[in-house]
Amino acid sequence: MKALLLSCCYNILYTIGWLVTLPSYLLKQKRRGGFGTGLMERFGLYRVSYNREPKGVLYVHAVSVGEVVIALKFLRAWLWERGGSAVLATSTATGHATAMNAQVPGVRVIYSPFDLLGLPGRCFDRFEPEAIVLVEAELWPNFARAAKVRGIPMAMINARMSARSESRYRAFKWLSKYYFSFLDTMGVQDKGDVQRFESVGVSPAVIHVTGSIKFDQQTADRRDGNPEFSAILEKLKRGKPVVLAASTHDGEEVLIAEAARKAGGFPLIVPRHAERRHTVVKDLSARGWQCILRTEGEIPETLKENVCYVVDTTGELKDWTALADVAVIGKSFLADGGQNPAEAVACGVPVLTGPHMENFDALVQLLEGVDGITRCGEEQLPDVLKEMLDNPLLAHAQASRAQVALKAHYGATARTIRMICIMLKIPV
């Protein structure tokens, strides 16, 4: 009775909220290039006929670009080892574009349905999944119930929970316990995540420490540098070391560019959201910067003293990161939570962050424990950055220690595959 009442309340509130936010959602998708890519799949309308769809698939749900990258890495390993076919469902236009561009054989890319009553079940009936895999901690009520009534086992992989999220979940532990009970198994990134998920009501019997798929053997992916990107930077940096401003949020582009100038570096700016390009250029231009946009193509023949390069595209961060001398992580100075520093660590690039890295507490603590990361406030940023650029041997020693620390996650993909095979009762 309580579950029925809870479901009714959720569906009423979700539907109202969905209707209110739908116009802004559609506007955002238009800005991000979602129109014309099959966005109506979110409403349960598909362009591919039912008979042409793969059946008995592994259904993987990933929200946006970061989760999609993890999902693709997992799916490549799963399909190579187990064969068959898969559906990769994503919620955002940028995530969908990343999945489509990967062109993984055997993977049907779709938009995940909204959690409106009936839509998740319509999607499951279309593909008849043998199992559902959720990348990181996203679980929607109607989605979960639709899987349960159809007897589809469900796993959550690469799950993590920050201390801040834990406090929010614990305030409604009775509710989180109920919804997490739909999971048949859960792979978490480290032992700290075990304690946090248990504290919000997840049964210890379903939790397994698998490590992070994102960090799994990432050091093997160290690149010499994309030749095209290297040529662009050679024209612009004029002998200066490259300071990557990675996944920046509002105001951080100016902050990091100014710090790079004072430290004698060249600013390479990759905003978290490419559609902010005009705001980024406006803010930087107001401070005297000549901004060259990646989407503009050609490099101007005349360059000012203060010039910076703005990468206003999606899916290229890793290639640009590999060319940096220092990576400064966004959302850690002028916003809360931080962005993931693992990409830079994997590329062997020294990492500098601000004080706000709450969303990656476990990783930051791991790196700080081996002196593999540098953190400072916005006031200290120019001086700390200059010290790192002036002492490249020390900075790269820090980067090497960080790479070694990530070895704890080696084999995470294989452990995750094994966990799902056990859930499905198939030979490992």
Could you tell me what percent of the chain has a pLDDT over 70?
97
Task: List CB contacts of 300: < 8 A, sequence separation 6 or more.
Answer: 290, 292
Asked whether residue 223 carries a pLDDT value surpassing 80, the answer given is no
Task: List CB contacts of 335: < 8 A, sequence separation 6 or more.
Answer: 249, 250, 252, 356
Least confident of 3-17, 90-104, 150-164, 414-428: 3-17
Please give the Cα distance from 205 to 185 (Å, whole number): 8
Least confident of 25-34, 145-154, 208-217: 25-34
Q: What are the extents of the domains in the chain?
A: 38-216+411-424, 219-405
What is the mean predicted confidence (pLDDT) over 60-86?
93
Least confident of 250-259, 270-279, 298-307, 374-383: 298-307
| pLDDT top residue among 192 and 374 | 374
Burial 139-170 (b: 16+ CB within 10 A, else e): bbbbbbbbbeeeebbbbbbbbbbbeeebeebe
- For the entire predicted model, the pTM comes to 0.70
**How far is CA 389 from each of CA 170, 286, 405, rounded to the nearest angstrom?**
43, 26, 23
Asked whether residue 61 carries a pLDDT value surpassing 50, the answer given is yes
What is the mean predicted confidence (pLDDT) over 82-111?
94
Tokens (6 digits) for 368: 């700080």
Common-topology check for domains 38-216+411-424 and 219-405: yes
Per-residue confidence (pLDDT) for residue 219, from 0 to 100 = 41
Least confident of 118-132, 265-279, 326-340, 352-366: 352-366
What is the mean predicted confidence (pLDDT) over 365-373?
93
Instruction: Tell me if the domain spanning 38-216+411-424 has CATH number 3.40.50.11720.
Output: yes
Per-residue confidence (pLDDT) for residue 152, from 0 to 100 = 97
Tokens (6 digits) for 312: 């206003």
Asked whether residue 220 carries a pLDDT value surpassing 60, the answer given is no
In a 13 Å sphere around the CA of 242, the CA atoms on its Cβ side amount to 23
User: What is the average pLDDT value for the chain, to the nearest integer?
Assistant: 92
Q: Which CATH number fits domain 219-405: 3.30.530.20, 3.40.50.2000, 3.40.640.10, 3.30.70.270?
A: 3.40.50.2000
Tokens (6 digits) for 68: 């999609």
What is the mean predicted confidence (pLDDT) over 294-310?
92
Could you tell me what percent of the chain has a pLDDT over 90?
72
| E runs forming strands in 172-280 | 185-188, 207-209, 242-248, 266-271
Asked whether residue 412 carries a pLDDT value surpassing 60, the answer given is yes
What is the mean predicted confidence (pLDDT) over 208-227?
74
